[in-house]
Amino acid sequence: MNLEAEARGDLLVVRVQEERIDAASAIQFKDRMRELVAAPCPRVLLDLSRVTFLDSSGLGAVVSVMKLLGPDRRLELAALGPVVQKVFRLTRMDRVFTIHERVSDAL
């Protein structure tokens, strides 16, 4: 799973460089995110602008990362495409996560 991370003050921006987070890639996504968030950072922003497809396994992986961060660290999302946004809305996970229209909105 190709993820790029950049620290910006108290915010770690993680850019997903893949088009899909699905059953085939969910485990790799979680493992890579575990590596990237090992260093303490109070806020983690997941840039999903390149992701065009997210299934239930992908959604579960994102939720797992949120749980991994624990109650003192926040996982925020940014730049959800229409299909990905629909998954979050239909599952009501848009009420669980802070979702920004653009990465710049979170900065």
- Residue ranges per domain, the chain? 3-106
The arithmetic mean of pLDDT across residues 45-69, rounded, is 97
Q: pTM of the predicted model, to two decimals?
A: 0.94
**pLDDT of 24 above 90:** yes
**pLDDT of 51 above 90:** yes
pLDDT, one tens digit per residue, over 72-103 is: 999 999 999 999 999 999 999 999 999 999 99
Superfamily of domain 3-106, CATH level 4? STAS domain (3.30.750.24)
Please enumerate in sequence order all residues whose Cβ is within 8 A of that of 64, keeping only pairs 6 or more positions apart, or say none: 30
By DSSP bridging, strand 3-8 and strand 20-21 are unpaired
